[in-house]
Chain A
Amino acid sequence: MKNKYMYKGLNSSLLFLVCVLLSVFCLLPFADAKIYIDITDPGFRQIPLKITTEGSPYANEIKWIVKSDLEKTGIFSFVAPGVAGAEVVANINAEPADKLKIVLTVTDLIENREVLKKKYDASKSIFRTVAHAAANDIYKAMTGQEGIFRTKLSYLVNVMPGRKELRMMDWDGYKSRKVVSKGLTPSHTWSRDGRSLMYSSERNRKWSIYRLDLDSYRESVIFSSEGLNLVGGASPSGLVSFSSSKDGSSEIYILDPYRKSHKKLTRSYGIDVSPAFSPDGTKIAFVSDRGGSPQIYIMNSDGKGRPKRLTFEGNYNTSPAWSPDGRSIAYVGRINGKNQIFVVKFDGTDLRQLTNVGNNEGPSFSPDEYFIAFDSDREGIRGIYIMRADGGAQQRITPKYLNAVAPEWSPYLK
């Protein structure tokens, strides 16, 4: 049954995918796959890039989106048209037509050769998606890695006290739309394939975990019981971690939504909450007050062995989020009366504080692990921010009037 509180959102992207499959063809493949920049090298040099446009005004619209995407990565310097010094030129040609017909050409000026030529046909209503796809292609041609410019963020908006709605937006904050506006939805997570969202909602004093199929926009209940049920994360094999107080105290569980079975992993009197699956699915980071204050622990996802405490600094550490390579965990720690984002290696070494203005909460890594999304009240009203994973280039991506919290970064989306 279609829920009237749901809004169609992914259709345009799907349409675009179909268009790409049907009509996009690489005139030149990634020739000899030269890597222009090794972004894993901390001392990398920025690539001087010039973006030029031809044809209809849409070329310019797309240029600004491409530039904004590439700029956020910090690995490009932009050379104005007519100024010398560029090593790479990306030309965007938009044919004057009813539909959007774009040809992107990337030229290496040093070696004087075309690196990439690609054509995009799509409806004009999804020109932002086309621009993000073009940015991805430029990024991949330069770095050899997948860009995150077509990923999305799900997040929550505080509509009024006791009501939180689930929304989704492009990674740059545009194309925001409601996903679920029923009840109080405080926690949410993406499936690993990016095709569904799972979330906990309180409706009529009952906490259930729901799954929303983003292709059909059908909602189904995947877990429901007495007590507080909060969804954590998803494993590569489709298991879902969650916390539930169905037996009394809040414990960590794993749910197999296909077999409709669940397994209890913790047994402690206190609070166990916020279970996050490691990227390979073998471990779970979670929050527990078993030591007297909320701290982050890591345990095996089969429940064997004793959980190992990860955080020792301070007396309030919550909201763990794994980096996609499984080596680090971002979390919220309380220091000098304020909440800040920290990152620590999963063995507890190399602790770094990434924020220091206002209260900063709800960290989530981008799938390429170069960015962290979070929420902050540094400018008064809470909003969604992104920063590089080293804490650099922090910027707000939601409008100032929107009380927005708890971003969750999608996996790579097609």
Chain B
Amino acid sequence: MKKTLLIFLLILMVGCSKQYTKAPEVVVAPAGKATEQMAAPEGIEEEFVEEVISTGEDRNISEAVISPEEEALSVFKDIMFDYDKYSIRPDARPTLDNVAAFLYKNKKFNVVIEGHCDDRGTNEYNLALGEKRAKSAQGYLSSLGVLPSRMMIMTYGEEKPLCMGQDEICWQRNRRAHFILVK
């Protein structure tokens, strides 16, 4: 990977230094698959400003593997619901697809799905509504092949709000299903 990048930058530099001239026809590269042609088509003169930002030699690219826990942070986003509804909205599907893919890939992890509501309803009904929301998410995920036994349903109704304000922005943030990774 480092090598490829080096070659790429080398080519770029060579290409740049031959400004206003025809591009070289052959770029000599070490053995390997990294034969990239930076040549402009014949007969066309290209004008551009050049500036070397980095030679690539100092660049230190980390190749550490991303742990499932880290990946889950970006995959497990809350999905939102409409007022007094528990159907999955189209905007929630990409997140659910990602959650399903994650669970497919990481078999030793399971998920807790928490359903939440805004505080306008009454408490008991909201507990039931929150559970319905979590179950809608569970149903969608199981339709994508996630075993129901890997998904634990929990409801908190309006008891654990993210946002305390009394406006639609806040209410929307609170009407959610939340995913928690468990081993």
Residues in chain A within 8 A of chain B (CB atoms): 161-162, 164, 184, 186-187, 205, 227-228, 230, 243, 245, 248-250, 270-271, 273-274, 287, 293-294, 316, 318-319, 332, 334, 337, 339, 361-362, 405-406
Contacts and interface: CB of A to CB of B under 8 A. Distances in A.
A186 B124 contact: yes
Interface of B: 84, 112, 120-125, 127-129, 131-132, 135, 152-157, 159-161
Contacts of A164: 159
Contacts of B152: 205
Contacts of B121: 294, 316, 318
Contacts of A405: 123
Given A184-B159, A271-B132, A227 B125 contact: no
A339 B125 CA distance: 13
A228 B131 contact: yes
Nearest to B122: A318
B122 A227 contact: no
Given A161-B161, A162-B156, A186 B122 contact: no
B136 to A, nearest CB: 12
Given A243-B128, A245-B131, A271-B128, A339 B157 contact: no
Contacts of A205: 112, 152, 154
B122 A332 contact: yes
Contacts of A243: 128
Contacts of A406: 123
Contacts of B161: 161
A359 B125 CA distance: 16
A230 B159 contact: no
Nearest to A245: B131
B125 A273 contact: yes
A271 B129 contact: yes
Contacts of B122: 318-319, 332, 339, 361-362
Nearest to A156: B123
Chain A residues touching B, majority SS: strand
Contacts of A318: 121-122, 124-125
A294 B160 CA distance: 22
Contacts of A228: 127-128, 131, 155
A348 to B, nearest CB: 20
A186 B132 CA distance: 17
B128 A186 contact: no
Given A162-B159, A205-B152, A316 B123 contact: no
Contact of A273 (B120, B128, B156): B128
A186 B131 contact: no
Nearest to A232: B124
Given A316-B84, A316-B121, A161 B129 contact: no
A184 B156 CA distance: 9
A339 B158 CA distance: 15
A271 B156 contact: no
Given A186-B123, A186-B159, A227 B128 contact: no
A361 B161 CA distance: 19
Nearest to A406: B123
Contacts of B159: 161-162, 164, 184, 186
23 contacts: A161-B159, A161-B160, A162-B159, A184-B156, A187-B123, A227-B131, A228-B131, A228-B155, A230-B124, A248-B135, A250-B132, A271-B125, A271-B128, A271-B129, A287-B124, A316-B84, A318-B121, A319-B125, A334-B120, A339-B122, A361-B122, A362-B123, A405-B123
